[in-house]
Each structure stands twice: as C-alpha cells, then as structure tokens.
Structure 1
Amino acid sequence: MDENSAIAALAALAQPTRLQTFRLLVEREPEGVPAGELARIVGVPQNTMSAHLTILSNAGLISGERQSRSILYRADLEGFRSVMLYLLRDCCGGNARLCAPLLADLIPCCPPKQAVPAQS
C-alpha cells in the first residue's frame, strides 16, 4: 500500500454514512448486502448511497458484484487489512513493545470461532 491509497481509504471512512456502511458490510461478511437494502438500512436515498459506495469502492474498501438486477456489496477485508498494516508498519520504530498494548487490545475483540465438534 502506498501513501495515496492509505489517504484515499482513510478519507473514505472519514464520513459518517460511509463509515456506518463499511461497518455494516463488515458485520454482514461474507454474505454481503444489496445496494438498495444498504440505502434503506442506513436511511439515505439510493442515489446518495450509490455515490458513497463508489467512494468506498474506489478506495479499495468494498467490492460490488452484479446479481440479476441489483449489486451485492461486500467489505474488502484484504483492502482494510492493507490500510491497517500501512498504519501499523514501523509504528514502533523497531521497538515492538511500543505496539504491544494495541495488539493486546485487538486480540480479545475478535476471538477465533471455536470449531463445532462433529457428532458421531
């Protein structure tokens, strides 16, 4: 990731409707959400949502896939990961202890799902 891409992604998320939309798409992974439903849930007109989705897509944070007459949007978690890694890379100037509190805070927020034991 380069600086311009990181700036575009951060700028895209620096608006309430786009941030809410991105968070909603992350919650709905991997199913995705149709554009019309996104507009309804977030409470904005469809043409306004379309503009927001274009900005998020151009920033590499979401992707859209045409399904019949609608477009299904999904969060691009790899794009988001790239932004986060860009921000964190070298954040500690070679001293990993400086980033340890941040990493400790991230681990409990997203615990891995336990595998369901197979029934005999």
Structure 2
Amino acid sequence: MEVTNAITVMSALAQPTRLAVLTILTAAGPDGLTAGELAERTGTPANTMSAHLTILSHAGLTASRRAGRNIIYRALPETVRDLTAYLTENCG
C-alpha cells in the first residue's frame, strides 16, 4: 500500500458512520447488505448513506454488485489488512 492509499483509507474510516458501516458489512460477510439496510441499522438518511458508501468504495473498503433492483454492498477486509501491514512496517 502506498502512503496516499493509506491516507485515503484512514480518512474514510475517520468518520463514525463509515466505520460503523464497515463493521456491519464485515459482520454480514460475503452476502453483504443493501444501502437501505445499512441506513436503517445506522439511523442514517438514505442520501447520506449513499455518500458514505461512495467514499468507502473509493477507498477500496467496499465493493458492490447488482441483485435485481438492489445493490448489495460487502466489505473488502483485505484493504484493512493492507493498511495494518503498511502501518506496522512504516510506523511501528
């Protein structure tokens, strides 16, 4: 992981709702959840959730797939592992 990627990932996770979303998606596993389910679980308006999911996706922390009319989001834990390795190697 490069320093700019590390900064992007840490910035995405620095916001409490986004960290909560990643935690929820990690627990949900590969089946993932819809944006509506995530909004409901976090008490976040749908349009705000969409913005959070975009930021998490751009940071490489989530991926999405279409299932009929729904978009299912899932966590990409390898990005967190890469960040941990980067921080351990460069900051520890």
- After TM superposition, the score normalised by the length of structure 1 is 0.73
Runs of 4+ with >4 A deviation: none
1:52 aligns with 2:52: yes
Equivalent-residue separation in structure 1 for 2:8 and 2:47 (angstroms) = 21
Aligned partner of 2:33 in structure 1 is 33
Aligned to 1:100: none
TM-score normalized with structure 2 length = 0.94
Give the aligned CA root-mean-square deviation in angstroms: 1.1
Give the corresponding residue for 1:22.
22
Q: Number of matched residues?
A: 92
Residues 60-118 of structure 1 deviation map (CA, whole Å, 9 limit, x = unaligned) = 111111111111111001111111111111445xxxxxxxxxxxxxxxxxxxxxxxxxx
**Residue-by-residue CA offset, 1:21-46 (whole Å, 9 max, x unaligned):** 01111111122111111111111111
Helix, strand or coil: the match of 1:81?
A: helix
Greater Cα radius of gyration, structure 1 or 2 = 1
SS of aligned partner of 1:63: strand
**Structure 2 CA distance, aligned partners of 1:90 and 1:4?**
13
Unaligned stretches of 5+ in structure 1?
A: 93-120
Measured in 1, the distance between the counterparts of 2:51 and 2:18 equals 10
Structure-2 residue corresponding to 1:86? 86
Q: 1:39 is aligned with what amino acid? A: A
| Identical counterparts, % of pairs | 50
